[in-house]
Amino acid sequence: MKFRFRLAAVVLGAASVLLAGCAVPTAQSLSEDTWVAVAIDGVAAVVPAPPTLRWTDTGRVSGSGGCNQFSGKYTLEFDRMAFSALAATRMLCVPAPQGQEDKFFKALELTRRVQLADGVLLLLDEQGQPLIRMVKGSR
């Protein structure tokens, strides 16, 4: 019996260490700032026009893909996030290297999870693989 309690304590302790740096963002915490993409699909975002996101706590999102502005809706329940009804302007832009804007919009469509760790916001696919890495920018 003591072995079971020790095993449970070890498992719970290990789980708390793994989760210590991670948090689940809330709509309110996301809406306090503009978030700037620093990596999309593992590739560093281009400066001076990296993609951005601005959330409202009423289920709306807007931002820039680096050239085109967009808006739409999102849902957030615990660590589950999805974007819908995204609409973007169709400005003729000089393409960013590696199709950054297209990859950004595709990554938003594939987002199913979200994680906040050490000031870095990760938008993840269904399997938990990072799609977009973001940091707080200015409002």
76-135 residue pLDDT tens = 999 999 999 999 998 888 766 668 999 999 999 999 999 999 999 999 999 999 999 999
**Domain residue ranges of the chain, discontinuous segments joined by +:** 23-136
* Pick from 13-17, 22-26, 109-113, 129-133: least confident: 13-17
pLDDT at residue 36 above 90? yes
Count CB-CB contacts under 10 A for residue 137: 15
SS3 22: strand
Residue 20 has pLDDT above 90, yes or no: no
How does pLDDT run across 66-75, given as a tens digit for each residue?
999 999 999 9
User: pLDDT grade, residue 19 (50/70/90)?
Assistant: very low
Confidence of residue 30 (pLDDT cuts 50, 70, 90): confident
Please give the pLDDT value at position 9.
41
At residue 100, φ and ψ (nearest 5 deg) are: -50, -50
Is residue 132 within 8 Å of 40, Cβ to Cβ?
A: yes
Q: Please give the CATH architecture assigned to the domain spanning 23-136.
A: Beta Barrel (2.40)
- Integer angstrom CA distances of residue 97 from 10, 47, 74, 109, 135: 47, 11, 28, 20, 21
Model confidence pTM above 0.85 = no
pLDDT at 7: 41
